[in-house]
Amino acid sequence: MQKLLMTMALMGVLVTLSANAASLASKISEVTVYSYSATVTRTANLTTRAGEQRVEVTGFPADLDAELLRLELNNTAVRLGQVKVVRKELRDTDNPEVLKLRAELDSVRQQIQVLDDADKAAKLQLTFLESLATGYSKQAWSGAAQANADTASWQRALTLMQGGAAQAYATLRDNARAKSELQKDAALLERQLADQRSTSQASSSVVVDLISDSAQNITIQARYPQDDAQWYPAYEARLDTAKASLLLTQKAVVSQSTDEAWNDVKVTLSTSEPSRDIVAPKVNSRFVNLAPQVAWQKGKNYGVFASNDAPLEEVVVSASRASAPAPIAAPTWSGTFAMNFPIPGRISISNNDDESQRFDLKSYEFPAELVTQIVPRQKTEAFLTAKLVNTGSDPLYSSSMHVFVDGVFMGEARMPSLLPGAEVNLPMGQDPRIEVKVVDQGGKDAKSGVFKKQRIEAMDLVYQITNRRPGAALVEVRDAYPVAKNRDIKIEQADNATPPTVEDEDKQAGVMVWRKSVEAGETWSIRYAYTLTYPADERLVSGAR
């Protein structure tokens, strides 16, 4: 049947129920989880009678926002009348589950108290035996000094004390083990009791007026938003180097700490962001002007000037202008695309803060080009990467990624956002089968010049890359030659330097890439050499810009 959708702007959150309102329990049937919120759907079934009928649908959380509540009826033969939201305060005695948990917790606490009392008795016994032993030893020693020592009496006393002490210590050990288990039971019961109280101390119900010409079977669906719920993607990347393929499994981590547990419900994960702005920003006129002359008086500081054009944005035209701080970027995967991931079956998710669940969403298998990347002057380790193209129709979202290579866990990396058709280089961890050595050829600093002294700095390194794999390996070596930002600085690559495969990679001045397929057992040598000349009386500074 076609659903009748009615969105109600509900006012007057607290009302008095009519005595003839029939009570109808509701149950959470569906939940759609967004990155930082959720939409909960509760359902209730009933058979209406002809005419008007008032129904109180129970089970809603105490913080139910009446203005955001949406009601749907699945039967167009039934009309929806007045709708009101009622908040109820409950006591422990109103909830049989709370009473049951309280009784169990009291029983466990009594058992712990019995064990505590037994511990006190055992410790008292040990104290008595210690005092008895001290007094007897003094008396026996005095008798021994008078040559009246009774060896048999000493032996009987020691046996008595040993047996009593052993029994007391055994009691303490047994009680400690028993109390440890009981304390675990008590902690669990306290947690369950807190969960029950958080959902039952206060609640809301929805009072609905239904109008029907005849008896009808209907389902009432109530949808409302909930904060304190979230999900985010996580990935597992498994690289098979023999097949040169990457299996990427997309997982979801879901948690929630709302006022209600989600038990046996249908869950859908959505990348939509309902709370985001949905209207494009408005562009207003923008004016610039020269700053007015500021009048200075002795003892006064006019740091801010007043203008007759106060409503206009003032922009001071000068040689430089400080830029505004960049806004904090939102997570790249959140709200960028709208996709839904239904979780198969019906699941339960607790509303405890420290609990989360993981679900497999989808797996993708991509052919991968294996590339070993090396930055020898920074690290002499080689790093394996998998270069791939997202050949599927689904976008992939930025999140953490656990990396496995040939079944071995390599570590955790970051999966970037990847649109369909886009290319990415995913890190796969260190590649111990590629050896890297940096050999200094002895570049030296010197001064030169007859009339104007110049300082010359020389760099002369050889990078040796050896492939210990059973087959060929595609290797990329990166480094950067310095770039002069002053005409008095001259930089020249050495004639014997190895020409790079790519210059100014990604339009980064001076960044060079040497790329080669290195055969098994082959050693590839790259010479990185240059001279840098600048006035000897100047100081050289370097940086990223």
Nearest-CA neighbor of 60 among 196, 199, 174? 199
Going by C-beta distance under 8 Å and a sequence separation of 6 or more, which residues neighbour residue 189? 101, 104, 105, 108
Contact between 21 and 54 under an 8 Å Cβ cutoff? The reply is: yes
Q: What is d(CA 465, CA 381) in angstroms, rounded to the nearest whole number? A: 10
User: Which residues, given as ranges, of the chain have pLDDT below 50?
Assistant: 1-19, 145-147, 295-336
Q: What does the domain layout of the chain look like in residue ranges?
A: 4-90+203-227, 96-145+158-199, 230-273+333-430, 434-535
Q: What is d(CA 403, CA 401) in angstroms, rounded to the nearest whole number? A: 6
Please tell me the predicted confidence (pLDDT) of residue 275: 61
Strand order in the sheet with 51-61: 22-25, 51-61, 202-212, 78-89
Q: What is d(CA 373, CA 391) in angstroms, rounded to the nearest whole number? A: 24
Q: What is d(CA 503, CA 294) in angstroms, rounded to the nearest whole number? A: 51
The H or E element spanning position 197 is helix 151-200
State which amino acid sits at residue 389. Answer: V
Q: What is d(CA 134, CA 140) in angstroms, rounded to the nearest whole number? A: 10
Instruction: Look up the pTM and report it.
Output: 0.58
Number of Cβ atoms within 10 Å of the Cβ of 220: 23
Residue carrying the six token digits 């003892």: 299
∠ CA 187-190-191, rounded to 5°? 85
Q: What is d(CA 136, CA 130) in angstroms, rounded to the nearest whole number? A: 10
> Residue 53: beta bridge partners?
210
∠ CA 116-120-125, rounded to 5°? 145
State which amino acid sits at residue 128. Answer: F
Number of Cβ atoms within 10 Å of the Cβ of 426: 23
Nearest-CA neighbor of 3 among 267, 265, 219, 266? 219
Helix 151-200 and helix 96-145, axial crossing angle in degrees, nearest 10: 160
Please tell me the predicted confidence (pLDDT) of residue 540: 79
Please tell me the predicted confidence (pLDDT) of residue 8: 40
Q: What is d(CA 535, CA 524) in angstroms, rounded to the nearest whole number? A: 37
Q: What is d(CA 474, CA 368) in angstroms, rounded to the nearest whole number? A: 12
Q: Can you list the pairs that 105-112 forms with residues at least 24 positions away whose Cβ atoms lie under 8 Å?
A: 105/186, 105/189, 105/190, 105/193, 108/182, 108/185, 108/186, 108/189, 109/186, 111/182, 112/179, 112/182, 112/183, 112/186
Please tell me the predicted confidence (pLDDT) of residue 288: 58
Q: Can you list the pairs that 44-47 forms with residues at least 24 positions away whose Cβ atoms lie under 8 Å?
A: 44/219, 44/220, 44/222, 45/217, 45/218, 45/219, 45/220, 46/22, 46/217, 46/218, 46/220, 47/215, 47/216, 47/217, 47/218
Please tell me the predicted confidence (pLDDT) of residue 306: 36
> Residue 385: beta bridge partners?
371, 427
Q: What is the pLDDT of residues 182-201, one digit of tens each?
A: 999 988 888 887 776 655 55
